[in-house]
A and B are shown apart, each in its own frame.
Chain A
């Protein structure tokens, strides 16, 4: 079956670094995406990894290890506005019509 595991909650203070892990078990794998969702808001795309390694976008970085079925989102220089839910999502196929499977999300709380 399909499963994506990520911690339910993470807490940190402003200026700190936090890592949100995601392990997956799916029938196929073509990439791992990360989305951010503020309370009451829409999910917004953060990053995508199709190959092993680290992708950096400003304060956010995402890592993938296909052999370990594992990835993580790294958030640096945390700010209060980073308090949100973070979802990892797996793409199981490489066809244009392949949907994403989302994890249950990790709630990040940043305090001052």
Chain B
């Protein structure tokens, strides 16, 4: 079974630029999550989709972050414009059972 795929793996941008991350979840997993993980901390949920509908985006900085999940499969997370404090690893996860999430390798974002 193929795991959760993410791209790119690494991205370096300057502040105020925009960036997009892509995620392909495990086939058949209805729930998809985007997390932000700052060095030395646990993953923090940004947004959660159930199929192609948003279930929870309460911690998404909506003035600069956006996400979509078209057709209930792939998802993209965008940051525009980026700030220095957005430097982090962005993890995508999917699940069939909500307590057992499968994470992708993440995208390490550096904002300079």
Contacts and interface: CB of A to CB of B under 8 A. Distances in A.
Nearest to B33: A99
A38 to B, nearest CB: 11
**Which size class do B's interface residues fall under?**
20 to 34
**Which size class do A's interface residues fall under?**
20 to 34
A41 B105 contact: yes
Interface in A73-112: 87, 89, 91, 96-105
A98 B101 CA distance: 12
B79 interface: no
B50 to A, nearest CB: 5
Contacts, number: 59
A43 B103 contact: yes
B98 A42 contact: no
A96 B105 contact: no
Q: Which among A91, A99, A101 has the highest number of chain B CB atoms within 10 Å?
A: A99
30 contacts: A31-B99, A33-B99, A33-B100, A41-B105, A42-B4, A42-B91, A43-B91, A43-B93, A43-B103, A44-B103, A45-B102, A87-B43, A91-B99, A96-B31, A97-B31, A97-B48, A97-B55, A98-B98, A99-B33, A99-B45, A99-B48, A99-B55, A100-B98, A100-B99, A102-B43, A102-B44, A103-B42, A104-B40, A104-B42, A105-B40
